Amino acid sequence: MQSFDLEAQGLRALNSTLNAQSTETNQTVWEVTNPKGSHAIAVGLDAPIEVNVKGSTGYYCGGMNKQATIHVHGSAGPGTGENMMSGKIIIEGDASQYLGATAHGGLIVVKGNASSRCGISMKGVNIVVQGNIGHMSAFMGQSGNLVVCGDAGDALGDSCYEARFFVRGSVKSLGADCEKKEMRPEHIEFLREIIAESGVDAKPEEFTRYGSARTLYNFDVDNAGAY
């Protein structure tokens, strides 16, 4: 295992070292110590490596990630996993606002709570939260799945497209054009797999599905007065 002291060696050195790892690297497991809430830890990775961050991170940890597994042993700041393409981010603590914003793929797991705007404009990522999520989550979500084992805040899925939202607890309010949907066998099957992969504590049958009512897809002249 490779160890990297962020405080001593600096952020640029960390990210350029991690960015230099290729798919054939032998140095597959990394440990980052003294993160102390620093911004942009392990961004832009593109190799099947595992990065264990021993503490809490600041803005944009794991942004644009491809292939890598990033494990934050603490809480994560705003914009964690922004625009992730593939790979995995696991956060042992809480995640701040706009977790996984615009992310195209991969899996993000939060063992604590996620804050407001979780999965905003998600484009294919899967996000699993053991606790609760804040308001305006999955705003304009386009594709992917948001699985919440706790409660969701106000305006879940506002103006969403084809992303799916599974909530086990209560939803404070649904956003515009977001509605409750039926749970079909394929949804139970999907949840069974992703719960197992994420290691969260929940049963697939306990969830309710929400998604787009698809009434905002086309302009409706009756709404002209609202503009």
Partner 1 sequence: MCGIVGLFLKDPTLEPMLGDMLTDMLVTMTDRGPDSAGIAIYGAETNGNAKLTVQSDTPDADFSKLDNDLRKLVKGKVEMSTKDTHAVLEMQADQLDIARAALSNLRPNVRVMSRGDTLEIYKEVGLPKDVASRFDVRTMSGTHGIGHTRMATESAVTTMGAHPFNTGPDQCLVHNGSLSNHNSLRRRLRRLGVHIETENDTEVGAAYLTWRMQEGSTLGQAMESALEDLDGFFTFVVGTKDGFGVVRDPIACKPAVMAETDQYVAFGSEYRALVNLPGIETARVWEPEPATVYFWSHNEAPTSKEKAA
Asked if 38 interacts with partner 1 (CB under 8 A), we say yes
Asked if 135 interacts with partner 1 (CB under 8 A), we say yes
Asked if 116 interacts with partner 1 (CB under 8 A), we say yes
> Pairing state of beta strands 88-91 and 208-212?
unpaired
Asked if 82 interacts with partner 1 (CB under 8 A), we say no
CB of residue 216 vs partner 1: minimum separation in angstroms?
A: 21
Nearer to partner 1, 7 or 189 (CB): 7
Nearer to partner 1, 116 or 130 (CB): 116
CB of residue 116 vs partner 1: minimum separation in angstroms?
A: 6
Nearer to partner 1, 139 or 161 (CB): 139
Asked if 212 interacts with partner 1 (CB under 8 A), we say no
Residue from 63, 77, 124, 157 binding partner 1 (CB under 8 A): 77
Asked if 80 interacts with partner 1 (CB under 8 A), we say no
- The answer to whether 155 touches 135, Cβ cutoff 8 Å, is yes
Question: Which residues, other chains included, contact 114 with Cβ-Cβ below 8 Å and sequence gap of 6+?
Answer: 94, 95, 99, 127, 129, 131, 132, 133, 134, 137
Asked if 102 interacts with partner 1 (CB under 8 A), we say no
Residue from 36, 172, 192, 214 binding partner 1 (CB under 8 A): 36
Taking CB under 8 A as the binding criterion, the range among 22-30, 70-78, 172-180, 206-214 that sits at the site for partner 1 is 70-78
- Kindly state the tokens that stand for 182: 């039926």
Asked if 56 interacts with partner 1 (CB under 8 A), we say yes
Asked if 96 interacts with partner 1 (CB under 8 A), we say yes
CB of residue 169 vs partner 1: minimum separation in angstroms?
A: 16
Nearer to partner 1, 77 or 100 (CB): 77
> What string of DSSP letters covers the chain?
-EEEEHHHH-HHHHHHHHHT--TT-S--EEEEE--TT-SSTT-S-BSS-EEEE-S---TTTTTT-BS-EEEESS-B-TTTTTT--SSEEEESS-B-SSTTTT--SSEEEESS-B-TTTTTT-EEEEEEESS-B-TTTTTT--EEEEEESS-B-SSBTTT--S-EEEESS-BS-B-TTEEEE---HHHHHHHHHHHHHHT----GGG-EEEEE---SSS--GGGGGG-
Instruction: Provide the binding-site residues for partner 1, judged by CB under 8 A.
Output: 36-38, 56, 58-59, 75, 77-78, 93-94, 96-97, 115-116, 134-135
